[in-house]
């Protein structure tokens, strides 16, 4: 009798398991719209008004709207729109002759993007001026863009002036910049990103959902430039996404953002290359972590679990952002502080050195007996060094997105000098190379590891595993 009962129970378990598997298989084979919760309202394709999406996704919308008011700063960044020119006056000189020397504020939250781009003093709204601001500057500021790109084409869009495009732009960044209406899947909406992937032989539609949780940010958080007279938005990734590959691309294209006053150096301005930085072999990226895992962590509202759209620094909520993987969030926050302190100190040292280089090149350029070939070499080194510095400076993590790459790129600021040690010996009978050599020797992220630091510290700085290191920056050499 006991064996008979056991057989009956085993049979019931098998039957229930088979039914469960059958139900799961049935659900998996149903169309997406039949497997998910039915929306309360239908969202039109590329709908720019995010409040209409809010009916179906109130939690996501409510948290997104917090980006309009949650303007909180961290130690080295934040969302309060503080002025970089006031915080670091060196940058006024570094960007002399370019609009960033007039107005350079840190970004506020996504919901403020449209208001802020219209308020910046960098705009040139005189359409009769050949250097007027193009409509391209709206590319990452509005959820109206996907529809406008579909209607006009990006070439016609970019060829318009900022003034001409303004009446067509009503909404700030929103749902349509990242999501496909109906399915809500993450998509590439920026034609420049689609084209960049195509030139690399990549098809973004084959990427996994986890990959797209990073790729979708690359619609905007990248290095880009305005190509040709039509100011066509272009990502300079044809040679790759590393900083030296981007520099090589610009060299081949003969591109410059502006000419530096008095030195006539053809300069480059980095934008905000978070995607390039993070995906260049960072510890988190190699572990399969996506941008959204840290900047848009999953949170709960009762029984509802959703991705917070209050996009901000993970340091403002480390328990939700870091605590999903790290049990000791206090240690993680301390580690971030160590990395960012080292990067911030190195960045300032680089700025001081570049300013010395600018002064040296100015002296050389003003001398009638200048050796033009050597002067051009010095200009090339200035162009490369400042872009490498700016690639770190304009990237919004103060190095944390990829500490190893940050260290190597900072070292590369000095590397050109080893290829042309007397590049600034361009003035006849005037020894300027020592001044410029200062730039090429000085910028080095870790020059000494103190005795109380772990013996493996130097190697771990390169690999991104920093804990308690003390950095000693070199002093300016006397000449």
pLDDT band (50, 70, 90) for residue 2: low
- Return the pLDDT at 336: 96
- Return the pLDDT at 438: 40
Following DSSP, what letter does each residue of 97-125 receive, concatenated? TSGGGT--B----GGGHHHHHHH-TT---
Q: How far apart are alpha carbons 178 and 429 in whole angstroms?
A: 59
pLDDT tens string 51-87: 999 999 999 999 999 999 988 888 888 888 899 999 9
Please give the structure tokens belonging to residue 240: 């790759």
**What does pLDDT average to over the chain?**
84
Burial profile 22-41: b = 16 or more Cβ within 10 angstroms, e = fewer: eeeeeeeeeeeeeeeeeeee
- Return the pLDDT at 21: 74
Angle of the 243-253 helix axis to the 372-393 helix axis, nearest 10? 130
Please count the other Cβ atoms lying within 10 Å of the Cβ belonging to residue 342: 24
CATH class of the region 50-70+109-255+290-313: mainly alpha
pLDDT tens string 398-440: 999 999 888 777 666 654 433 333 445 443 333 333 343 443 3
Q: pTM value?
A: 0.81
pLDDT tens string 93-146: 999 999 999 999 998 999 999 999 999 999 999 999 999 999 999 999 999 999
Please count the other Cβ atoms lying within 10 Å of the Cβ belonging to residue 378: 29
Q: How far apart are alpha carbons 408 and 461 in whole angstroms?
A: 10
Strand 298-301 relative to strand 304-307: parallel, antiparallel, unpaired?
antiparallel
Mean of the pLDDT values across residues 295-305?
A: 91
pLDDT tens string 186-199: 999 999 999 999 99
The yes-or-no verdict on residue 44 having pLDDT over 60 is yes
Sequence-separated (6 or more) residues with CB below 8 Å from residue 287: none
Please give the structure tokens belonging to residue 474: 């070199």
| Contact yes or no for 324/314 (Cβ under 8 A) | no
- Return the pLDDT at 444: 32
Sign of CA dihedral 169, 175, 177, 180: negative
**Domain 329-463: homologous superfamily in CATH:** Butyryl-CoA Dehydrogenase, subunit A, domain 3 (1.20.140.10)
Residue ranges covered by each domain of the chain: 50-70+109-255+290-313, 329-463
Q: How far apart are alpha carbons 310 and 21 in whole angstroms?
A: 38
- Asked whether this chain's domains 50-70+109-255+290-313 and 329-463 adopt the same fold, the reply is no
Mean of the pLDDT values across residues 220-242?
A: 98
Q: How far apart are alpha carbons 260 and 258 in whole angstroms?
A: 6
Residues in the chain: 479
- Return the pLDDT at 19: 76
Q: How far apart are alpha carbons 266 and 251 in whole angstroms?
A: 10
């Amino acid at each position: 009798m006991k064996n008979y009962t056991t057989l009956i129970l085993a049979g019931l378990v098998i039957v229930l398991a088979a039914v469960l598997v059958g139900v799961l298989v049935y659900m998996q084979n149903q169309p997406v719209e039949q497997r998910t919760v039915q929306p309360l309202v239908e969202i039109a394709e590329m709908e720019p008004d995010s409040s209409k999406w809010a009916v179906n996704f109130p939690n996501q919308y409510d948290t997104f709207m917090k980006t309009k008011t949650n303007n909180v700063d961290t130690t080295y960044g934040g969302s309060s729109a503080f002025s970089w020119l006031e915080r670091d006056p060196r940058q006024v000189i570094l960007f002399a002759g370019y609009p960033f020397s007039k107005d350079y504020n840190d970004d506020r939250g996504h919901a403020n993007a449209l208001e802020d781009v219209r308020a910046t003093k960098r705009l040139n709204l005189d359409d009769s001026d050949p250097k007027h601001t193009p409509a391209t500057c709206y590319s990452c500021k509005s959820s109206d863009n996907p529809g406008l790109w579909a209607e006009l084409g990006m070439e016609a869009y970019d060829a318009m002036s900022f003034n001409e495009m303004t009446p067509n732009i009503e909404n700030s960044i929103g749902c349509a910049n990242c999501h496909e209406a109906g399915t809500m899947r993450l998509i590439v909406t920026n034609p420049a990103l689609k084209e960049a992937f195509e030139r690399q032989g990549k098809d973004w539609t084959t990427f996994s959902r986890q990959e797209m949780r990073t790729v979708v940010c690359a619609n905007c958080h990248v290095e880009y430039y305005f190509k040709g007279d039509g100011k066509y938005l272009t990502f300079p990734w044809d040679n790759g996404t590393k900083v030296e590959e981007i520099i090589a691309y610009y060299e081949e294209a003969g591109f410059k953002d502006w000419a530096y006053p008095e030195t006539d150096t053809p300069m480059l301005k980095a934008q905000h290359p978070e995607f390039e930085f993070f995906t260049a072999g960072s510890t988190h990226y190699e572990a399969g972590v996506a941008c959204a895992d840290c900047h848009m962590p999953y949170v709960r509202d009762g029984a509802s679990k959703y991705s917070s759209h209050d996009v901000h620094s993970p340091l403002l909520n480390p328990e939700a952002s870091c605590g999903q993987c790290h049990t000791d969030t206090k240690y993680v926050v301390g580690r971030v502080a160590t990395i960012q302190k080292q990067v911030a100190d190195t960045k300032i040292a680089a700025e001081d050195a570049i300013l010395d280089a600018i002064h040296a090149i100015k002296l050389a350029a003003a001398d009638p007996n200048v050796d033009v070939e050597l002067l051009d070499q010095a200009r090339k080194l200035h162009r490369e060094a400042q872009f490498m510095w700016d690639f770190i400076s304009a990237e919004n993590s103060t190095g944390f997105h990829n500490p190893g790459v940050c260290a190597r790129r900072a070292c590369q600021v000095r590397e050109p000098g080893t290829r042309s040690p007397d590049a600034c010996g361009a003035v006849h009978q005037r020894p300027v190379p020592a001044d410029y050599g200062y730039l090429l020797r000085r910028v080095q992220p870790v020059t000494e590891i103190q005795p109380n630091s772990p013996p493996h510290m130097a190697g771990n700085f390169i690999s991104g595993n920093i804990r308690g290191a003390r950095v000693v920056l070199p002093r300016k050499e006397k000449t």
